[in-house]
Structures are given as structure tokens and as C-alpha cells.
Homo-oligomer: A and B are copies of this chain.
Amino acid sequence: MRYELYYWPQIQGRGEFIRLALEEADADYVDVARTKGGMDKMMRVLGSGQRPPFAPPVLKAGKLLLAQTAMILFYLGNRHGLAPKDEFGRFWVHQCQLTLLDFLVEIHDTHHPIASGLYYKDQKPEAQRRAGGFRASRLPKYLGYFEKLLAKHPRGGLAGAKLCYADLSLFQTIEGLTYAFPSTMSRARSRYPRLHALHDRVSARPRIAAYLNSRRRIRFNELGIFRHYPELDE
């Protein structure tokens, strides 16, 4: 079965968490909105069916249409060996993923605290206030939490020795934060050795490394969730 992924074609965004899982699983998929006429197809999928999705990312798996990043990863993780086999292990990885996605909203809102429908330039002073609080308290709270989790599995990931999809998402989060807040992340590096070690191990995995070097990997840019605005960094 060839999966169809529907996501905004110009950005990594939430779609990237799905792409990383599909790539690590060596799954057959097409990134529909990046193909010719794909945006029209995506718009049709969004309003369609008995169970229409609210927003991308959307994954079509045969007749099944799934939305919500964490839901899609729960589905893919179970089918491609990217989650533990026991139910409670699966719940745990899903729970980690949901916490990472809560973090992601806060990361996004550093540059869009007022409205996602406005440009960054129309909410710059508010963004600077929000980013200040984010760097001072929310960023260390989340990173400290995940660092503590990794301490329970030296040389492993969030679910233990075997890689899970939330490890891929944690890699992407560290990668994105390093792009968006290079100075903050560089100063704090020594506080999060396990997060950085996991990041490096994930990026060295053969399929992930090949993906990151491919044209399938969209570059970070200032349309996405992780944006580099120097005035929001330290």
C-alpha cells in the first residue's frame, strides 16, 4: 500500500514528524501536495468524506483518512515497528508525542503570539515578549523534562533501547530549536547532553541521514514553525 501524505508543500511543519516516521520505516508514500496538481487534491481531501479532517497533516492509508499528527504517528508507529508492542508502551510513546506537540505550539507561538493569520511583522513586539518568557521558562521546562526521561534509558530513547517515533520527533524538535534559537541552544547545550546525543544518533541512522540529504527534506525557512528571527533569540 502506498500512503498518501497531505501537507503544506513549502514547509516542514507538523508534516515533518510524519515524513520522518515514513522515511525511517522505509514506507512507500507520496507527498501529494508537492506533486503537480497536488494542492488541489489536498484541498479536496480536507473537506471530504464522512470524517473530514480539520487541517493537514492528513494521511490516506487505503480507504482510511487520518488526521492529527499524534494520531497519524500512533497509527504508523504500531504498523511499522516504531512503537513498543505492548499496549502501555504504545500509550507511553503516544503520551510523549502529545507532550512534544504541546511544546511545538509554544514554539510556534513565539513568533505568532497574537494570530496565526497575521504576519510576523504585525506582532513583533508581542513576539519579543512571548519569546523572552519562552526562553526563560518554557524551553528549559520542556527540555529538562525530556532530558530526565532519557536519563532512564542510557544510550536509548524515550521507549528504551529500541527507537520509537517520538524519538524521531524529539530529534526534529532539537534540530528546529537549534535553527530557530541558535544562541540560546548553544549556551544551554551542556545542560542537555542526552538530548543532543539522541539527536546525533537519530541523524546518523542510515535512512534518516539519506533523507536529510535528499531533496525530499524541505529546508527550514521563515514560513514554518521553527523560524530564525535573531531578535527572538538571546
A75 surroundings in chain B (CB, below 8 A)? 91
CA–CA, A68 to B68, complex, Å? 15
Known pairs A50-B152, A105-B105, A115-B130 / 9 extra A-B pairs, C-beta < 8 Å? A51-B92, A51-B95, A52-B148, A66-B95, A68-B95, A68-B99, A75-B91, A113-B130, A126-B129
| Nearest CB in chain B: distance from A15 CB, A | 16
A53-73 vs B, CB cutoff 8 Å, 1 = contact: the mask equals 110000000001011101100
A109 interface contact, C-beta 8 A: yes
CA distance A152 to B92 in the complex (A): 33
A154 within 8 A of partner (CB): no
B88 touches A117 (CB 8 A): no
A70: min CB distance to chain B, Å: 6
Q: Is the CB of A70 within 8 A of B98?
A: yes
List the 7 shortest-distance A-B pairs measured between CB atoms, nearest first.
A115-B133, A68-B98, A54-B99, A68-B95, A113-B113, A71-B95, A114-B129
